Amino acid sequence: MARVFVSSVIGGPADQVWARIRDFNGLPSWHPSIRESQIEGGEPSDKVGCVRDFYLQNGDRIRERLLGLSDYDMFCTYSILESPMPLENYVATIRLTPITDGERTFAEWTAEFECAVENEADLVDGIGSNVFQTGFDSLKRHFGG
């Protein structure tokens, strides 16, 4: 099983960062790689089990299911249903933790998935840098830090 872990410090209060990212359909508003997104079937974007169907800037389509969402613990867990990436059983979590020394947030984004061994290094690196770190960098530009 391949694993990806990326963490960052965002220069804003955790509740404000969470307000920006908690909408499961809101990726285009904060992640620069996402062109458009919609929740299938008109379901609420915070309903566990809802499916988001979105397009990357390059036109690739990805579908993901919301597996867990907690405003108290500030985390979102989701799985990939369809993707052009050669992987299976992908489950990821983005989690925020307040940093008590200043108005900052510790953010971590993790994923586990299965793939062919020859694809693992490229997928781990690509997801870690092009998806997770790119998202955190965008949040840091917005909030500072």
**CB distance 37 to 62 below 8 Å:** no
Domain 2-143 CATH class label = alpha beta
Spans of all domains in the chain: 2-143
pLDDT for position 144: 76
pLDDT for position 145: 59
Residues in a beta bridge with 96 = 107
Q: Pinpoint the alpha helices (H) of the chain.
A: 14-21, 27-30, 117-126, 134-143
Q: Which residues in the chain come in under a pLDDT of 50?
A: none
Tens of pLDDT along 66-82? 999 999 999 999 999 99
Residue 52's SS3 state is: strand
pLDDT for position 53: 97
Which residues, at least 6 apart from 48, have a Cβ–Cβ distance to it below 8 Å?
A: 66, 67, 68, 69
What is the reported pTM?
0.94
